[in-house]
């Protein structure tokens, strides 16, 4: 079984690795211990969609940091390419890229994370790993080369995970603008008759609202 088949999955600890970046050597995931981080790969520097993505990430960097979240990019380019590209973005688009970008020239990091397409080629796929403060992978998302990512969705993902962890709840579709429950959060499914009865009492007291005992929601 090769490294591609052993790629990390949701719930796994992010694999330990020392990476060379535009900000120097970084020890992952220990560099971000106690913080959330998004590691996102892109096919290559000096490409149109990737440029719009990095610009969009940087425009929201302060919002990510407010959520105790760091950003780190990755592609199979050399450090000098990353530095020249970010310099171009600063000079021509007016945004200085403040987060590091992994220079995975030999593709070892991309191979370990399953970011190289099985049909061959050297460009990394568009992927995002969301990693929590305990270095656990909480979400993995993939995008095709022609479709740029939505950075506001990543902010929503981080906010949703943090709320779910803090309150022991689940996050509904399109939260915080869900079509059924608005900005409410969803109660986990009841796992016993005792819990069902407890939910009914909570509903009677107005603590929660339910469509049925298995579909209950409440204000966050």
Q: Which positions are annotated as active-site residues?
A: 50
Cβ(115)–Cβ(108) below 8 Å: no
What's the CA gap between 25 and 33, in Å, rounded? 16
User: What letter would DSSP give residue 188?
Assistant: P
Q: Is the dihedral of CA 180, 185, 188, 192 positive or negative?
A: negative
Q: Pairing mode, if any, of strands 69-75 and 36-41?
A: parallel
Looking at the DSSP assignment, which residues form a beta bridge with residue 210? 216
Quick one: which of 134, 127, 119 has its CA closest to 102?
Answer: 127
User: What letter would DSSP give residue 70?
Assistant: E
């Amino acid at each position: 079984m090769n490294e591609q088949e052993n790629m990390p999955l949701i719930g796994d600890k992010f694999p330990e690795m020392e990476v060379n970046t535009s900000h120097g050597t970084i020890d992952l995931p220990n560099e971000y211990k106690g913080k959330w981080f998004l590691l996102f790969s892109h096919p290559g520097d000096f490409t149109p969609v990737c440029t719009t993505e990095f610009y969009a990430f940087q425009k929201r960097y302060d919002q990510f940091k407010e959520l105790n979240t760091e950003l780190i990019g990755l592609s199979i380019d050399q450090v000098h390419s990353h530095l020249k590209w970010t310099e171009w973005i600063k000079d021509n688009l007016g945004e200085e890229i403040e987060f590091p970008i992994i220079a995975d020239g030999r593709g070892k990091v991309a191979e370990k994370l399953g970011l190289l397409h099985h049909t061959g080629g050297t460009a990394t796929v568009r992927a995002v790993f969301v990693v929590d403060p305990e270095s656990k992978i909480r979400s993995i998302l993939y995008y095709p080369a022609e479709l740029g990512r939505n950075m506001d969705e990543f902010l929503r993902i981080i906010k949703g995970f943090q709320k779910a962890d803090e309150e022991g709840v689940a996050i509904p579709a399109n939260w915080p603008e869900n079509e059924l429950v608005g900005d409410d959060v969803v109660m986990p499914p009841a796992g016993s008759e005792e819990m069902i009865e407890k939910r009914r009492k909570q509903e009677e007291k107005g603590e929660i609202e339910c469509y049925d005992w298995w579909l209950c929601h409440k204000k966050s």
